[in-house]
């Protein structure tokens, strides 16, 4: 075998090992979730579904799931409206403070979530607002907005503006151009931006830990509290459900939108 073949074999081995590293925790948790006993053991001596039943019946997980759905639905929808509108303005218009607003809205990509969470907590306290859903939703909107903004902005860049010009020159008023040309053409970008925002919001943990209370805690916060207090495999069972649901959602997103294009890792051509 020549040196090129050897290099190729080494490369494939490295990639396979890395993929194994990425998959390892998920596989191990999958095994642990079906262990019949409460103490970790590999391989398990007996198998059981009972931790799934226990996890599904656990009140904090149920409440966390419900709260998470409320927060995610509100936050990702608000972020989509705000982000898409601003992305449109960024792409179509030039105006003062355009780059400033964009810079501030993209900042949560590098500002630690615990700082943002602490900020919203202090802000709510100073304004005398209760630690209710509104604070949690506001915090999540800010955290997922950069992803929506980017996703919609990329779609707008790839949109041929001549469609809009054609509609306008045929006499369509601006509102009509927006609703019957721009928005339908943007639909894939809008849906994938919303999906991204929803997945990220549902999983957000650090900032949520600061801004949620016992009443509003989301699923990741409930899971964190569980891990700190108990060691039984219920948490493994929840993790398995989480991993399966997320992978399924991503596979669907990949089939419909082409994940590679959304993430900008392959050419749009």
Partner 1 sequence: MQNRPFLTAFVSPAALCAFALIAALAAVFQFSLRAYIPGSLDPGGLTLDNFIALTKPLYARVFLDTLWICATTALCTLAIGYPIAYALVRTTNPFIKSAILIIVVTPLFLGEVVRTYSWIVVLGNNGFVNSVLLKLGLIERPLQMMFTHFGVVTALVHVTLPVMVIMLAAAISHIDPDYERAAESLGAGPIRSFLTITLPLSAPGIIAGVTTAFAWTFSAFATPQLIGGGQVNMVSNLVYQLGFASFNFPFAASLSVAGLVLTFAVLALVRAATRPLEAVTAH
Q: Which of residues 156-185 bind partner 1 (CB under 8 A)?
A: 174-175, 178
Determine contact, residues 76/145, Cβ cutoff 8 Å. Answer: no
Selected binder of partner 1 within 129, 134, 165, 227 (CB under 8 A): 227
Of 228-257, binders to partner 1 (CB under 8 A) are 228, 235-236, 238-239, 242-243, 246-247, 249-251, 254
Applying CB under 8 A, among 53, 104, 130, 166 the residue interacting with partner 1 is 104
Q: At what angle do helices 219-229 and 234-257 cross, to 10 degrees?
A: 150
Cα separation, 7 vs 12, in Å, equals 9
Q: For partner 1, which is the closer residue by CB, 88 or 163?
A: 88
Residue (of 40, 61, 42, 44) closest to 52 by Cα position: 61
CB neighbour list of residue 227: distance below 8 Å, 6 or more residues apart: 235
Dihedral (Cα; 242, 243, 249, 255), 10-degree rounding: -170
Under DSSP, the state recorded for 1 is -
Given 55, 80, 105, 237, the residue binding partner 1 (CB under 8 A): 105
Using CA atoms, how far apart are residues 166 and 159, in angstroms rounded to an integer?
Answer: 13
Q: How far is the CB of 5 from partner 1 (least distance, A)?
A: 11
Least distance from partner 1 to the Cβ atom of residue 230, Å: 11
User: What is d(CA 221, CA 239) in angstroms, rounded to the nearest whole number?
Assistant: 13
Burial (0-12, 13-18, 19+ Cβ within 10 Å), 80: buried
Residue corresponding to tokens 């809008």:
190
Residues 3-42 that bind partner 1 (CB under 8 A): 3-4, 7, 11-12, 14-15, 18-19, 21-26, 28-29, 31-32, 39-42
Applying CB under 8 A, among 57, 109, 130, 187 the residue interacting with partner 1 is: 109
Q: Please, which of residues 196-215 interact with partner 1 by CB under 8 A? A: 199-200, 202-206, 209-210
| Region of 48-56, 103-111, 155-163, 183-191 interacting with partner 1 (CB under 8 A) | 103-111
Cβ proximity to partner 1, 108 vs 193, nearer residue: 108
**Which 3 state secondary structure label does DSSP give 145?**
helix
What distance in Å separates the CA atoms of residue 210 and residue 218, rounded to the nearest whole number?
11
- Binding residue count for partner 1, defined by CB under 8 A: 96
Nearest approach, Cβ of residue 195 and partner 1 (Å): 10
Place of tokens 């990509």: 109
List binders of partner 1 among 35-94 (CB under 8 A).
39-42, 81-83, 85-86, 88-89, 92-93
Q: How far is the CB of 191 from partner 1 (least distance, A)?
A: 16
């Amino acid at each position: 075998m020549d040196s090129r073949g050897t290099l190729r074999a080494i490369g494939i081995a490295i990639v396979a090992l890395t993929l194994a590293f990425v998959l390892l925790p998920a596989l191990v948790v999958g095994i642990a979730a079906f262990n019949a006993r409460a103490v970790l053991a590999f391989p398990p001596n007996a198998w059981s579904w009972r931790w799934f039943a226990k996890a599904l019946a656990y009140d904090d997980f149920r409440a966390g799931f419900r709260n998470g759905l409320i927060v995610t639905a509100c936050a990702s929808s608000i972020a989509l409206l705000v982000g898409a509108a601003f992305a449109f303005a960024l792409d179509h218009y030039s105006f003062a403070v355009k780059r400033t607003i964009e810079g501030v809205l993209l900042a949560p990509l590098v500002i630690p979530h615990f700082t943002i969470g602490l900020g919203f907590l202090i802000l709510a306290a100073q304004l005398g607002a209760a630690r209710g859903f509104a604070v949690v939703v506001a915090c999540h909107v800010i955290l997922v907005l950069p992803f929506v903004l980017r996703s919609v902005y990329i779609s707008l860049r790839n949109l041929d503006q001549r469609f809009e010009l054609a509609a306008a020159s045929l006499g369509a008023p601006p509102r009509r151009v927006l609703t019957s040309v721009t928005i339908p053409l943007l639909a894939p970008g809008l849906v994938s931006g919303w999906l991204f925002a929803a997945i990220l919001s549902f999983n957000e943990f650090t900032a949520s830990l600061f801004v949620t209370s016992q009443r509003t805690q989301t699923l990741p916060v409930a899971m964190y509290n569980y891990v700190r207090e108990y060691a039984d495999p219920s948490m493994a069972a929840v993790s398995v459900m989480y991993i399966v649901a997320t992978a399924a959602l991503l596979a669907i997103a990949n089939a419909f939108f082409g994940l590679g294009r959304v993430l900008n890792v392959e050419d749009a051509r």
